Amino acid sequence: MNILGENVMRKKANENMPRTPTLKRRLEVPAVRQRQRSLSMDEKILLNWAVSRNDIDTVKGIVESARVDINERGTDGFYPLHRAATTGSMDCLKFLIEKGAAVEVYDKDGLSPLDVAVYEGEYDCALLLIEKGANISHIKYGYLEECKMSPKTRKALKKRLSQCLKTDR
């Protein structure tokens, strides 16, 4: 088999493999466990990494050990709630809100978790944030019109959010 054929076969074999193993599985590798003593990582960075991959076990471990303030902006200017909303990490989003994460926080660009969920098309996350009290006035009266969405995306969003967006608000 030539190199091209081998690459195609390898790619096909890897399609069914999980893209990123959870941190927990990585730490179970003996070589990683050995190096663990010499490595240290900022807890905020680890939390954001775990949230963006919906690694709920790691997120729970960090948050429940009270090593990180979930309402504190990360070193990159984003809150954990923004990461969860952006990546569609529904389990982490629910957990962070349960643990007291504020739904009305703004990242370095002035966007709320609801803004980024809507922008990324993570409508289930957007609905959860609205149910938990996220401010929808800017979405109803301008965000959708100002945002450069295709008509198809806008229609899908309005359909998904219609149960929460009431005219009396």
The 10s digit of each residue's pLDDT in 140-160 is 533 444 455 556 666 666 666
Q: What is the pTM of this model?
A: 0.62
Q: Which of 21, 81, 5 is nearest to 47 (CA)?
A: 81
Give the rounded distance of the alpha carbon of 11 from its chain centre.
Answer: 27
Q: Is a pLDDT exceeding 80 seen at residue 33?
A: no
Count CB-CB contacts under 10 A for residue 104: 13
pLDDT of residue 122: 87
Q: Name which of 6-20, 68-82, 128-142, 152-166 the model is least confident about.
A: 6-20
pLDDT of residue 13: 53
141 vs 25, residue with greater confidence = 25
pLDDT averaged over every residue in the chain = 74
Q: Which of 43, 50, 91 is nearest to 69 (CA)?
A: 43
The arithmetic mean of pLDDT across residues 116-132, rounded, is: 88
Residues 66-122: tens digit of each pLDDT: 778 899 888 888 899 999 999 999 999 999 999 999 999 998 888 899 988 888 888
Query: Is the Cα torsion angle 48, 49, 50, 54 positive or negative in sign?
Result: positive
Q: Please name each of the domains of the chain with its CATH number.
A: 41-168 (1.25.40.20)
Query: Is the Cα torsion angle 78, 82, 88, 91 positive or negative in sign?
Result: positive
Contacts of 167 (CB under 8 A, 6+ apart): none
